[in-house]
Structure 1
Amino acid sequence: MSDILTPDLCVIGAGSAGLTIASSAAGLGASVVLIEKGEMGGDCLNVGCVPSKALIAAAKRAHAVRSAGAFGVRAGETAVDFAAVMAHVRGVVAAIAPTDSEARYTALGVRVVRDAARFVDRRTVEAGALRIRARRTVIATGSRPAIPPVPGLAAVPYLTNETVFGLAALPERLLVLGAGPIGLELGQAFRRLGSEVTIVDAGPPLAREDPEIVAHTLGALKREGVALHARVTVVAAKRVADGVALVIDEGAGPREIAGTHLLIAAGRTPALADLGLEAAGVRHTPAGLTVSRSLRTSNRRVYAAGDAAGGPNFTHVAGHQGGLVVRAALFGLPTAFDATPIPRVTFTDPEIASVGLDEDAARAAHKTIGVWRWPFHENDRARAEGRVAGHLKVITDGRGRVVGASLAGEQAGELIHLWAAAVQKKWALTEIASLTLPYPTLGEISRRAAILHVADRLTNPWVGRIIRFVRKLP
């Protein structure tokens, strides 16, 4: 007979959301069972954010050496030791892993179960020889790579983010199916490490982002030799003598693009298989679990967080939702998840970062908006660093409050922090214009864009009347 546990909280999945929930709840004195069938830390630590950024960092160093001549530094021929690069990637993962380890969470008072979880009824979860009847259960199982229905794809070898970091040798010619964040980030990284790279997508690259912002990064990819075929029909995938080929149609008839390796980067799909959701009475769609704004599912005892809850699929979103779930599930406090003020970053070079509404969404939501831009080439630090590609675009409502911002450029992922605060706190653009920021820094770009708004307000006829009145004063 199975042992029965009756904790306050049962968490299925030890990724960003699950770990946040488990540690927070245990820290508050709740009894917690955490179930994970794979690696602790989830995709982000093991096959996602962490290894990809470590690979990108190595590729950035290689590119910097090749580009050093512009600064008068002659570095000679760049040689990439791919085995050493991958050792660096594994080392970064290993250094972070103890933070997410079973040992750490056990020490925090969490009962960690390393097995697959499955609901057997509306309240009971089975994991190996255990049955867990928790007061509340949270599904935080994350997502897996989405595999597009391309004819022939199942018959060819391909990589995903789950397998690409296990490569022993640098791909000679890498095909990437998907021009979203993962495809562009890894495509550029492998190009900088020495692969020939071709990226293919049926839609536009980085479809969620503002095209005028994306254009800066696409220009950089082209200059670095990445071939991009967007808005094409992907007819089929097939084996060829030295690897794999994609058959595409750009309007002039089918043609083949061949490579030694194929990477599928066509988005993510919620990992919900074999959870017994029907037995639990938990409704779901292909996009994820059906949840309320408080992240409660159709079963009042079951909550969801992270990618399994339908996204946005970002580690920081999963962590944020985890905090909301602890409030709601343990204490019954009112919570509401709002994705609007959540920033996102694509770690290409130049980086792309966004928060809040884009221009089209802002026009639909507000009667009057303001659009303010400032280019990197007008920033002294960017000039000194030779990193002048990109610009900032800020959107305000009719009252001058910041409702959105996006930018491409050096350290865009760091610069977006200020704008995330502005959107979340509903700051007026004048508040940013009034800041005194250190010179020379890239952060001045934000203030200069804000000053444009102030300058525009000074052209108001009433300002002219006030000035004329002041002139008459003794």
Structure 2
Amino acid sequence: MKRIKTDICIIGAGSGGLSIAAGAVQMGAKVVLLEGHKMGGDCLNYGCVPSKALIAAGKQAHAMRTGQPFGVTPVMPDVDYAAAKDHVHKVIDTIAPVDSQERFEGLGVHVIRAFGRFISPTEVQAGDTVITARRFVIATGSSPLVPPIPGLDKVPYDTNETIFDLREKPGHLIVIGGGPIGMEMAQAHRRLGCEVTVIEGMKALGKDDPEMAAVVLDTLRAEGIEIAEDALAAEIRGTAGAIEVEVKDGRVFKGSHLLIAVGRKVNIDKLDLEKAGVAFDRGGVTVGDDLRSTNRRVYAVGDVAGRLQFTHVAGYHAGVVIRSMLLGLPSRARQDHIPWATYTDPELAQVGLTEAQAREKHGRALTVVRFPFHDNDRAIAEGKTRGLIKVMVIKGRPVGASIAGAQAGELIAMWAMAIANKLKMSAIAGTVLPYPTLSEVNKRAAGAYFSPKLFDSSVVKWVVRSVQRMLP
């Protein structure tokens, strides 16, 4: 058995683990990085990267069908589904070197390609190596949750970990789960020529503002996607190419392929956390705002920290942990400024409080300002007028923003910055933006906050009239 002593031992080479490893080693710490599966984790190999690549392929096919309003004769695209998957894997292969073992070893990180498990509060074993470290970071991420639906174990099905290796285009894809992953994959496959049915036990896109979610869901239904809500899967039966899903109220949905997209489970089963004195539950490792566990030597970041499950959150957590571990500075993670986006078309994005959350928290002190995409000149020029932004404001400061529309994932950035830095609405309203851009919806929303104060105020009008009388 080999033994290593190091400053920091990181378990998991996904977004959070890689960010900490790169930062820590370049700042002078000795770092050991453990990865028993693929470098880059879920995001590179099964999540953000491949899903956006497949969505891009679907957008190209959709554009060919929908050119009539622009004077372009629509044509039915000849979709090579296997070639679309080749595009997905080319994108992964292009990005992979940034996350590779070779790159990190070049930075000075000691990379061990084996799963790590605790054998004591100060030791982790990976293969035939025992690592003793001053600090440990659990960055093992999450995996697709496979629910115990009767019959599921008897039929072939995909998750986000296998769907991108599928080479044969599904004739009719059934998606169980109407969250972001399910809806993104539903639209991508529909645009690539598949029939698609989404089965959701509650409400599709149910974690987002319902008014905003409706903008997206109406579009998906208009594109021919069947979305069944309040449809809890009760039994699955059939064989490859002929699968049936019966829901609790007796409805039966038939398709050729099945995708399970009902959520995520944190990867903690192999860690032997009890031997390290690290508390945990189904949601992940128990941590404080400093991301430290009940064992002061052990931190957790990303999905396994039991908070928002997004790649960019893992990267943010990395910065919090680095400041604490390497510099000894007090450092705590916030959640109120974390944005997220669903990359359907139109996109759906959120940061801070939704309208319902803001009303519950702030009551009558809340002001909600809105601006529709159909009044934005760039949206009109590009035929992307379906959408809306609304901003929740308390005493002149935004506390939340919801956007449904073209490039919502890009547009939410301004509000994420504003909330993170406690900027006022005047900072947005006073920003000069290029014309014509979609980003003007942000400024117009900020302007909508001030308009009643300026244009509907008798005091302002009295002041203006008085000034005019005094001017030469």
Q: TM-score range by the shorter chain?
A: over 0.9
Q: Which residue of 2 aligns with 1:414?
A: 410
Q: Is the CA contact (8 Å cut-off) linking 2:156 and 2:239 kept in structure 1? A: no
SS of match in other structure, 1:338: coil
| 8 A Cα contact 1:303 1:329, kept in partner | no
Partner of 1:322: 318
Aligned-pair CA distance for 1:378? 0.7
Structure 2: runs of 5 or more not aligned: none
Matched residue SS, 1:120: strand
- Identity, in percent, stands at 48
Answer yes or no: is the 8 Å Cα contact 1:288–1:308 preserved in 2: yes
- The answer to whether 1:380 aligns with 2:360 is no
- Where does residue 27 of structure 2 map in the other structure? 28
Matches within 5 A, 1:91-102: 91-102=90-101
Give the aligned partner of residue 459 of structure 2.
462
Residue number in structure 2 paired with 1:189: 188
1:409-431 deviation digits (Å, cap 9, x = unpaired)? 11111111111111112222122
Q: In the alignment, is the contact (CA less than 8 A) between 1:217 and 1:348 conserved in 2?
A: yes
Alignment of 1:110-259 (within 5 A): 110-240=109-239, 242-249=241-248, 253-259=249-255
Equivalent residue in structure 2 for 1:394, among 387, 391, 399 = 391
Matched, 1:432 2:439: no
The separation in 2 between residues aligned to 1:235 and 1:11, in whole angstroms, is 40
**Paired AA for residue 435 in structure 1:** T
Match of 1:15 in 2: 14
- Using the size of structure 1 for normalisation, the TM-score is 0.97
- CA deviations 1:389-440 (Å, max 9, x no partner) are 111111100x111111011111111111111111112222122112221111
Give the TM-score, by structure 2 length.
0.97
Confirm whether residue 290 of structure 1 aligns to residue 304 of structure 2: no
Give the count of matched residue pairs.
469
The letter of the residue matching 2:351 is: V
- Cα shift at 1:461: 3.8
Where 1:366 maps in the other structure, the secondary structure is helix
Query: Segments of 4+ in structure 1 off by > 6 A?
Result: none
Alpha-carbon separation, structure 1, partners of 2:126 and 2:66? 53
Displacement, 1:471? 4.2
1:369 aligns with 2:366: yes
RMSD of Structure 2 on Structure 1 (CA): 1.2
CA distance in 1, matches of 2:40, 2:262: 23
Alpha-carbon spacing, 1:240–1:444, altered in 2? closer, same or farther (3 Å): same
Q: Does 1:450 align with 2:446?
A: yes
SS where residue 457 of structure 1 aligns? helix
Range with greater deviation from structure 2 (178-187 or 443-452): 443-452
Unaligned runs of 5+ in 1: none
Deviates further, 166-175 or 331-340: 331-340
Equivalent of residue 403 in structure 1, options 380, 399, 405: 399
Tell me how far 1:472 sits from its aligned partner: 4.1
Distance (Å, rounded) in 2 between the aligned partners of 1:431 and 1:108? 40
Q: Deviations over 1:153-173 (max 9, x none)?
A: 222211000000000111111
- Cα distance in 2 for partners of 1:360, 1:416 equals 18
SS at the partner of 2:389?
Answer: strand
Is the CA contact (8 Å cut-off) linking 1:34 and 1:112 kept in structure 2?
yes
Is the 8 Å Cα contact of residues 394 and 405 (structure 1) preserved in structure 2? Answer: yes
Partner of residue 78, structure 1 = 77
Q: Secondary structure at the match of 2:470?
A: coil
